[in-house]
């Protein structure tokens, strides 16, 4: 068997190392993509802000320069979020929240009968 493997040219010691290589390359790809996504998501607001300022310049309007105008206080954010929650909560139908359980008379079913589940001994 060993001579057959040697003639074919298979080397299992090299194949065992390739699993580690595949795992390392997989981890590197995942971390590279996650890093790229972080960079993209942090740069998107800057690009949107840049495009907005560019459009305002073309219309000869003043762009917002200070960050004080862009800042929203915490209580205002809480009020807005509560209003949105209440608005979307009213869109659902009003339920009575009462559960009614009616007993149903079950008919006989041989599927749960023990006499069919037990093994019967053959007669003499």
Residue 114 lies in a domain: no
Residue 59 lies in a domain: yes
Q: Tell me what pLDDT residue 18 has.
A: 73
Average pLDDT over residues 42-49: 89
Residue 115 lies in a domain: no
Non-local CB neighbours of 61 within 8 Å, separated by 6+ positions: none
Domains held by the chain: number: 1
9 is in which domain, residue-wise? Answer: 2-95
Give the Cα-Cα-Cα angle 54, 46, 62 (nearest 5 degrees). Answer: 35
Q: Tell me what pLDDT residue 43 has.
A: 92
Residue 104 lies in a domain: no
Residue 13 lies in a domain: yes
Non-local CB neighbours of 53 within 8 Å, separated by 6+ positions: 63
Residue 70 lies in a domain: yes
Average pLDDT over residues 61-77: 70
Share of the chain above pLDDT 70, in %: 60
Residue 29 lies in a domain: yes
Residue 73 lies in a domain: yes
Structure tokens belonging to residue 32: 């590279």
């Amino acid at each position: 068997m060993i001579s057959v493997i040697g003639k074919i040219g298979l080397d299992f010691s090299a194949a065992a190392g390739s699993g580690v290589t595949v795992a390392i390359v997989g981890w590197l790809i995942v971390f590279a993509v996650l890093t790229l996504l972080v960079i993209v998501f942090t740069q998107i607001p800057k690009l949107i802000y840049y495009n907005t300022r560019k459009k305002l310049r073309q219309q000869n309007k003043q762009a917002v320069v200070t960050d004080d105008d862009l800042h929203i206080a915490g209580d205002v954010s809480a009020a807005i979020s509560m209003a949105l929650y209440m608005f979307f909560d009213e869109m659902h139908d009003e339920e009575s929240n009462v559960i009614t359980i009616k007993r149903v008379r079950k008919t006989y079913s041989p599927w749960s009968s023990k006499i069919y589940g037990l093994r019967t001994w053959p007669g003499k």
